[in-house]
Amino acid sequence: MTVLPWQPGTTPLMLAPMQGLTNRALRAYFIEHVRPDVIFTEFMRVNTAPAGAGLTAADLRDVATEQEGVPLVVQLVGHEREALVLAARVAQEAGAAHINLNMGCPYGRMGGGLTGGGMLRCPDDLAEVIPALREAIDGSFSVKIRTGYDDPDQILSLLPLFESSGVDFLVLHPRTVVQKFDGVADHGVTAQVVRETRLPVIANGDIRSAADGGRVLGETGAAGLMLGRGAIADPALFRRLRGVVNREPGREERRTEVGRYLREMLTRYGQLSCDDTQVLNKVKEIIAYLGDPELSKPLKELLRARTVGAFETALHGLC
């Protein structure tokens, strides 16, 4: 029997894979401070070229069963069956115990082509891809998916395939691919999917507070939550959902939390790269998700910083 990447009988809180953002350094910050139950790699692009599995040396350095004791799910993005199967085998040989197929990314070639969310444009092909991956993967095999390419009911027609193929769990973001992040995530669809499948469903999308998370779990019956943009904006969201800290931080508490978060990430990125521009760009990517109206002035100052020194000086405006 396949071992899932979370403990039986628990409600897992997962850190979402976000390309260009949830790299090893950011994952390590979350592990140290809030310890998600499950973490994911950024997606690893699987090329269809016949030579090799399409996984780079950098990809393979990120492959593991866990990171600092937290189960790590390796996410693949591609569309061609043989290339995906080969990539899954290579990832397993490098140490992966849990593999996820990205069928939800809505951007660029991911949404407009046949990769990521674009896989939903050719649902007939999935009848070959999904069973082949299941056969090749020894550990858990999951799918991260939107409700459909342009039809929010498409997910319902795919559930029999996922079940019969032996997929272990689904991560559902209840928007269509063409919606990208417009509108709101319709967790009424999540609830319908939970009712119509025996597979564990992890709810993802527009979970920005402890109240959001509690409501989604209560209204959908989902097996757990995947936290993405909400977690990047507030890493303590994991602890808020667990009832360990205040569900809603006060103004000064929030200022202090954000200041410490950005200061530590500046240090962590600095340990990975000696290029100040790269370090600043990575930290500024985090700032883009913060969106606190009461912090708008100091955050703008941080975005204006052109050197690490200037950024550190501007951080004094937060804490």
* 173 shares its domain with 292: no
* 150 shares its domain with 237: yes
In the chain, which residues have pLDDT < 50? none
Output the pLDDT for position 97.
97
* 30 shares its domain with 148: yes
Output the pLDDT for position 146.
98
* 18 shares its domain with 87: yes
Cα-based distances in Å from 170 to 92, 162, 194, 203: 20, 9, 10, 9
Output the pLDDT for position 57.
87
* 80 shares its domain with 204: yes
For the record, the structure tokens of 33 come out as 């401070």
CB-based contacts of 250, cutoff 8 Å, min separation 6: none
* 174 shares its domain with 289: no
Give the predicted TM-score (pTM) of the model.
0.95
Burial (CB count within 10 angstroms: exposed 0-12, middle 13-18, buried 19+), residue 134: middle
* 149 shares its domain with 71: yes
Output the pLDDT for position 110.
52
- Structural domain range at position 258: 251-315
pLDDT, one tens digit per residue, over 218-241 is: 999 999 999 999 999 999 999 999
Output the pLDDT for position 16.
98
Residue 154's nearest CA partner among 114, 100, 111, 192 is 192
Output the pLDDT for position 144.
98
